[in-house]
Amino acid sequence: MTTKAFVIGHPINHSRSPLIHGTWLTEHGIDGSYEAIDVAPAELLAFFERLRGGEFAGGNVTIPHKEAVFALCDSVDPLAKTIGAVNTLVVRDGKVHGTNTDYLGFLGNLDAGAPGWADSLDEAIVLGAGGAARAVLVALRSRGVRQVHILNRTVANAAQLASHIDGPFSAHGYEAFAELGPKAGLVVNTSSIGMHGTRFEGLDLGLLPKTALVTDIVYTPQVTPLLADAKALALRTVDGLGMLLHQAVPGFEAWFGTRPLVTPALRARIEATLEH
Ligand code: NAP
> Which CATH number characterizes residue 177's domain?
3.40.50.720
Which amino acid appears at position 82 of this protein?
Answer: T
Ligand 1 binding pocket includes 157 (Cβ within 6 Å): yes
What does the pLDDT read at residue 204? 97
How many helical (H) and strand (E) elements, i.e. helices and strands, does the chain have?
Answer: 11, 12
What does the pLDDT read at residue 197? 85
Domain check: are 12 and 94 in the same one?
yes
Per run of 10 residues, the mean pLDDT along the chain (length 276 residues) is: 96 94 97 98 97 97 93 96 96 97 98 96 97 96 97 98 97 98 98 93 96 96 96 98 97 98 96 80
Domain check: are 142 and 169 in the same one?
yes
152, part of any domain: yes
What does the pLDDT read at residue 276? 61
CA–CA distance, 227 with 246 (Å, rounded to integer): 20
Ligand 1 binding pocket includes 15 (Cβ within 6 Å): no
Domain check: are 52 and 121 in the same one?
no
To test the pocket of ligand 1, the residue of 109, 175, 191, 200 to mutate (highest count of ligand atoms within 8 Å of its CB) is 191
Domain check: are 68 and 138 in the same one?
no
148-164 b/e with 16+ CB inside 10 Å = b? bbbbbeebebbbebbee
What separation in angstroms does the CA of 4 have from each of 15, 61, 101, 194, 266? 17, 15, 19, 35, 21
The CATH number that applies at residue 79 is: 3.40.50.10860
263, part of any domain: yes
261, part of any domain: yes
Domain check: are 82 and 108 in the same one?
no
15, part of any domain: yes
205, part of any domain: yes
**Could you tell me the residue range of the domain that residue 121 belongs to?**
104-239
Distance 191 CA to ligand 1 centre (A): 4
204-224 b/e with 16+ CB inside 10 Å = b? ebeebeeebbbbbbbbebbbb
Estimate the crossing angle of helix 249-256 against helix 102-113, to 10 degrees.
120
39, part of any domain: yes
What does the pLDDT read at residue 77? 95
Domain check: are 233 and 179 in the same one?
yes
Longest dimension (CA), the chain: 59
Domain check: are 168 and 198 in the same one?
yes
Domain check: are 231 and 253 in the same one?
no
37, part of any domain: yes
What does the pLDDT read at residue 120? 87
276, part of any domain: no
Residues 6+ apart with CB under 8 A from 177: 125, 151, 203, 204, 207
Domain check: are 202 and 157 in the same one?
yes
Which of 170, 232, 223 lies closest to 199, judged by CA?
223
231 is catalytic: no
Domain check: are 87 and 173 in the same one?
no
- The structural domain count of the chain equals 2
Domain check: are 118 and 225 in the same one?
yes
Please check whether residue 186 is in contact with residue 113, taking contact to mean a CB–CB distance below 8 angstroms: no
Ligand 1 binding pocket includes 196 (Cβ within 6 Å): no
Ligand 1 binding pocket includes 106 (Cβ within 6 Å): no
Distance 166 CA to ligand 1 centre (A): 21
Distance 198 CA to ligand 1 centre (A): 12
Name the burial class of residue 269, with classes exposed (0-12), middle (13-18) and buried (19+) by CB atoms within 10 angstroms of its CB: middle
Which amino acid appears at position 203 of this protein?
Answer: L
For β-strands 95-99 and 88-92, DSSP reports them as antiparallel
Q: 4, 66, 183, 210: which is the annotated catalytic residue?
A: 66
Name the burial class of residue 116, with classes exposed (0-12), middle (13-18) and buried (19+) by CB atoms within 10 angstroms of its CB: exposed
Domain check: are 233 and 248 in the same one?
no
To test the pocket of ligand 1, the residue of 164, 192, 274 to mutate (highest count of ligand atoms within 8 Å of its CB) is 192
